[in-house]
Structure 1
Amino acid sequence: MAALTNVIESFETKISPQLARAVAATVLVKREIAKEYGLLTEADVRRSLALTAESEFPDLFSIPYRKQIHFPGFQLEAVVGGAGAQRIRPFISRLKKLALERSWTDEDVVFPSSVQRPTWAMNFPSPRIWSRAMTRKPCSGLSRRRWRSSGNHFETEPGPP
């Protein structure tokens, strides 16, 4: 606590409580991502993907953490029968393209906070779920829900055939 107090006191400008809370929340989110998925350095990613120093580095989502750029581990998956080898999950390139089209930052996509991520992702609690959602085939039997005021509940209507 004393270290944090010293850092805040070192700023010449006034820091609002909202800004202090936002910074603390961001640090906690980064720690949670590191704990659940791991945060990899460039060297870690190169080693995991068996890339040489001359190989072009893949386009992955990254976040700054502890004065370095890190790559969340959920972007990689084990190769079946690869004896520890890994590859980039197939949905990552599509998600990167979508993020570029929508002008989302890497943190907008990576952070699981509903405040800091795009609204389309609010139904997905974690990147683990994103991988399933991005690889799922579209469903033809969609249904709509409508509010039925007489019974105070939602009623499901069949969708298009």
Structure 2
Amino acid sequence: MTEDRGALCIVLHSHMPYVEGFGTWPFGEEWLWEAVATVYLPLLELCREAPVTIGLTPVLCDQFEAMCGDAGRRFAEFMRGTRAQIHAEDSEGLERTGHPELAEEIRRAATDYVHAEAQFERHGGDLVGAFAALCEQGPGELWTGPATHALLPLLATTAGLHMQLASG
């Protein structure tokens, strides 16, 4: 095995359409909150020592920044209220219908959400800052992308291409 760095590059690219502030179901903030709880917060823990490149699009970062304010409060309320209630109802229903092993898994999964909310609070709701700190302190790197996650070869004008790249 070679000691040369750069023989392999792992890039974790992430994007989410803009949903912050558009209600919850079916394609509103709940989608963002689920991704924060089940993908982005666990990714922060997982990648502490990993030499990976994490791509966060401007659209995603803008939503992360909103979570330092009212969106973060709504996330925490959703985790403590709605999400916890749904897990409780689901596990009780599974117990009643003779599926204790599935009920146990729902209860276990519920602890993931409790952990995610606690981790969110530890970061002060600042996910952009948490990813920046992760890459400043560890072996990882941050990347971004076009301003609106446009498919660059399909843009109609050169000016549009330049705007996407300059803004992203």
Pair member with larger Rg: 1
TM-score normalized with structure 1 length: 0.24
Q: Judging by fraction of residues, say which structure has more strand.
A: 1
Q: Judging by fraction of residues, say which structure has more helix.
A: 2
Does 1 or 2 have the higher relative contact order (CA < 8 Å, sep 6+)? 2
TM-score normalized with structure 2 length: 0.23
